[in-house]
Homo-oligomer: A and B are copies of this chain.
Amino acid sequence: MSVDTAEPSEFSPRQNAVLEQALRLLVDGGEKALTTSGVARAANCSKESLYKWFGDRDGLLSAMIAYQASKVRTFERNGERLTAASLHDHVVIFARDLLEVLAGDVSLALNRLAIGQSHRDGSKLGKLLLERGRRQIDRRAMALIDSGKRAGLLRFADADEAYHTLYGLVVSDLHVRMLLGEPGLKDTARQAEKAVTAFLRLYGTEKVLAEMPALG
């Protein structure tokens, strides 16, 4: 296993602690609760320092996204040989991890924040969120399905399209529903399993299909 994009702490430890408190405020109370005075109070720092470090409120928001992204590390598979069964298991694990990430408090809060601001700042936060937050999980998935293809277990012309399909099968409208605040969307395990079954039925080669239960 290998860790990528180390990004040796874009911010100082003190600043990281402040950003941590800011995230906590955001998660607990939404954007309205994320005031500069509130962050300063919660983090025991002065507003002057906030503005010196992050420029303005938007800079603080961007820094929060960057900081959160720097915390999430994803591990890529090494070149281990895949079988039909292990491919299935790995894709299921990926699907569960994906749903778990999307359902996370901080992830939801930051996505809500970026979506709420997308009109004001020309999608600056949204772009940041997609580039810094999604790239890692995208790479992990692409590596996985590419391994599947090289092992003769998956067949597709366009890897992006295949991943896009997998993403849609796994997530469907769950992300938006969670963003809208719908409660009780926690039955992710079964959902992930079903999605992976469908994905393998669409993109699996005969080696994979042979081991799958009859459709119904």
Contact = CB atoms under 8 A, between A and B. Distances in A.
A3 interface: no
Interface residues on A, range: 35 or more
Interface stretch (A15-23, A41-49, A78-86, A172-180): A172-180
B179 A118 contact: yes
Contacts of A168: 168-173, 195
B180 A130 contact: yes
Interface of A: 29-33, 109, 111-112, 114-116, 118-120, 122-123, 126-127, 129-130, 155, 157, 161, 164-165, 167-173, 175-177, 179-183, 194-195, 198, 201-202, 215-216
A122 B165 contact: no
A169 B122 CA distance: 28
Contacts of A173: 164, 167-168, 171, 175
Nearest to A190: B161
Given A168-B168, A175-B176, A112 B123 contact: no
A33 B155 CA distance: 49
Contacts of A129: 180
Contact of A181 (B32, B123, B169, B215): B123
Contacts of A30: 118-120
A123 B31 CA distance: 14
Given A111-B176, A165-B172, A181 B116 contact: no
Given A169-B168, A172-B165, A182 B112 contact: no
Given A157-B216, A202-B201, A181 B112 contact: no
Nearest to A163: B172
Contacts of A179: 115, 118, 126, 176, 179
Given A167-B173, A175-B173, A201-B202, A116 B112 contact: yes
